[in-house]
């Protein structure tokens, strides 16, 4: 089973705190993956991509000749993504493989808005279809590795 997610935390009706939401998300992910293991199945988790700290598309429109103005901190982007929560949950998930595509989206300390003349992000942390198409070979290799097929 291949999974991914954007959410960093679960929404708990009687307690909307960040800490409880993250703890609940981690517990739910661990239980879901444990159920897979009990069923004799393995899972593959695609870690969430770094979340932009600005509206990338809007910034590129405003700064078409100064794209560096539209870069954002990889550390901040990863902290605001679901990847941190996924990593905590994965600590006790022996039947789950991990795919991390972040280096293809953000190869440096600053995440660029454009790589190879292709806009990376559209609307929040969503990737553009065009950029995703450029990553198809890398994604396929990462998926084969996660499946144990080199």
Per-residue pLDDT tens digits for 21-32: 888 889 999 999
3-state secondary structure of 97: strand
Q: What would the two tokens of residue 115 be?
A: 């790589």
Can you give the pLDDT at residue 9?
73
What is the Rg, in whole angstroms, of the alpha carbon atoms belonging to the chain? Answer: 17
- Mind listing the pLDDT tens digit for each residue in 35-79? 988 898 889 999 999 999 999 999 999 999 999 999 999 999 999
The dihedrals phi and psi of 145, each to the nearest 5 degrees, come to: -60, -45
pTM: 0.87
């Amino acid at each position: 089973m291949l999974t991914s997610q954007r959410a960093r935390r679960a929404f708990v009706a009687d307690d909307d705190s960040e800490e409880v939401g993250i703890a609940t998300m981690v517990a739910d992910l661990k239980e879901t993956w444990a159920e897979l293991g009990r069923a004799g199945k393995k899972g593959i988790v695609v870690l969430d991509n770094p979340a932009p700290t600005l509206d990338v598309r809007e910034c590129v429109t405003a700064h078409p000749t100064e794209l560096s103005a539209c870069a954002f901190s990889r550390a901040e982007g990863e902290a605001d993504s679901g990847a941190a929560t996924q990593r905590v949950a994965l600590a006790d998930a022996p039947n789950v493989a991990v795919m991390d595509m972040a280096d293809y989206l953000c190869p440096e300390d600053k995440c660029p808005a454009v790589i190879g003349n292709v806009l990376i992000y559209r609307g929040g942390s969503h990737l553009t279809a065009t950029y995703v198409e450029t990553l198809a070979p890398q994604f396929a290799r990462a998926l084969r590795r996660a499946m144990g097929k080199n």
